[in-house]
Structure 1
Amino acid sequence: MKIKNKILLVVNPISGGLNKRTMLVTVKAEIKKRGLQLELYETTGKKDKKKIKRMIEDFQPDHILVVGGDGTIQLVAEVLDGHKISVGILPAGSANGLAVNLKLPPKLQDQLKIALGDNILEMDVLKINGRTCLHIADLGINAELIKNYEHASIRGKLGYFLKSIPTLFHSNFPFNFEIEIDHMTVYKKGILLAIANANKFGTGANVNPTGKMNDGKFEILVFKKLNFIKIFKTLSENAKLGSDFVEIISTTQAKIRCTTPVAFQIDGEYVGEVCEVEAQISPNKLLIAVPSPIE
């Protein structure tokens, strides 16, 4: 394991609507206590990728700490595409979907131990319509919910719940999906089609219980109907989802077409309405610090 001497700290100061000042005092103190070199970069939304690339070239960090949500982690992952620099996460976004999937603890001190630790997962990265996806993208009712949630005054899981009712009433589900895999085309109908590298949504719903983030594959999940009892069961860690509720296809690449434009999201960020999606596993991995070794 490469010794971590130089740490680049990438901070999104506005993610999750949280004030990062107290958090950064704790993070800097821990890095100083360990005798590590530190460089800080705060995102602005303007040329962040180019600026972080320049900092990596100049500072040559051994490890990057990310304070922010899934969008900030995506940004760093795109910069590191092809680099062998490990990443630690200090979740500070709205839903923190990747942190949920990696089972990061809630307390900052515990997160720091993991983020600066030596348990590194070589995680798969998806490329979907040219964009980076780290845990789950989807077409359909969940993407519609995320679109509506972006305008909500109440954040967190309560905000999702309050927006779910009007979303259900106004959605045009079921949707028709054409899925092309390995020169074979299948036609499916459902309320939601997910492209999953991980197990869970940021809300904790365990929609892909058997999926692994480092097996070189992803899963296409077609949820066939709106069944509230089975949706509730996805909140269980050991969720068992029958084929009458969801159909699962494991693959390394796929093209998905819709007969009409359908709402689309990647890692909790609403992208827009699309008629076609192309997804494949990237040849490059993301080296990410995790609580314990993952097989």
Structure 2
Amino acid sequence: MDLDGLLAAQHGLIGRAQAHACGLSDRRIEWRVESCRWRRIHHGVYATFTGPLTFEAQVWAAILRAGRGAVASHRTAAYLDGLCDDPGPVVHVTAPAERHVRGKTDGVRIHYAHRLPLTRHPSKSPPRTRLDETVLDLVDVAPHPRDVDGWVTAACQRRLSTPERLADALARRKKIRWRPMVEAMLADVAAGAQSPLELRHLRRVERAHGLPTGHRQRRIAGNRVIWIDVDYTEYQVRIGHVGEGRFRDRRRDNRATIDGHATLRYGHADVFGDPCAVAAEQARLLQARGWTGAARPCAPSCPAPMIIGDRPQRGVADRR
């Protein structure tokens, strides 16, 4: 590739070795820097324009600094692919594990991977890891289970991946942090839990307290298609999770009430802050609508059965 074509592909960034391959000597490179035609961004990496670097240019500069075979990864790759809306303060790149980049580079974090040829996307620019691999890279460095929830559900909620594809990528990894949790989570996401809030409701409200199993992400077609977060069809009870579009949700709830359905709606403060109280409220409504089961305590100190006056029973199957 000629110099102009290379610079166009790399958002105006070039590495010293690339400049040599285009016929520029060290002396010619230094002259361009000293005359302010080029400027040094990292060791051996130059911008051939003035003014601030775009995000893509910053990514190219980090990749060129990391050297041959390096790609954007982790949160940087996630931002490039639309998995998150904030790239964070550091550009993340991954280089082949067989070599090491010497020295510290401000604003760049370099990771190393043995499987990089397999996890690298074949065509995207700037070069980056495949999206499923990006999700698992972020899971592997996640400090808290809630972060794991966030990355996995975001990939599926934004229609960037599927539980099946993520499970395939997970199976190809020999070592990864949080593996049992991710495997269980992928099964729950496949069942319809599309956000950390919905996962929390499924696990800590419904399952933990022995409530009936609802139908998740139920599609109802009419004049306009609507989606029900959790639908207990037999009892005409619906559960919604508060987020964006509250006015739309209110109109949907009003229509459901007219049709004989009762709707309960919960936000993060409810489901994360007091899942036992949410379970008690749901159980009370379900019982009023024909459920013959009883909420069970999720722990010895769980107040849910006492709130609704249930006497916990073991070994009693709930009617679905």
Question: TM-score, normalized by length of structure 2?
Answer: 0.26
| Higher relative contact order, structure no. (Cα contacts within 8 Å, ≥ 6 residues apart) | 1
Structure with bigger strand share is 1
Structure with bigger helix share is 2
Rg (Cα) greater in structure: 2
Question: TM-score, normalized by length of structure 1?
Answer: 0.28
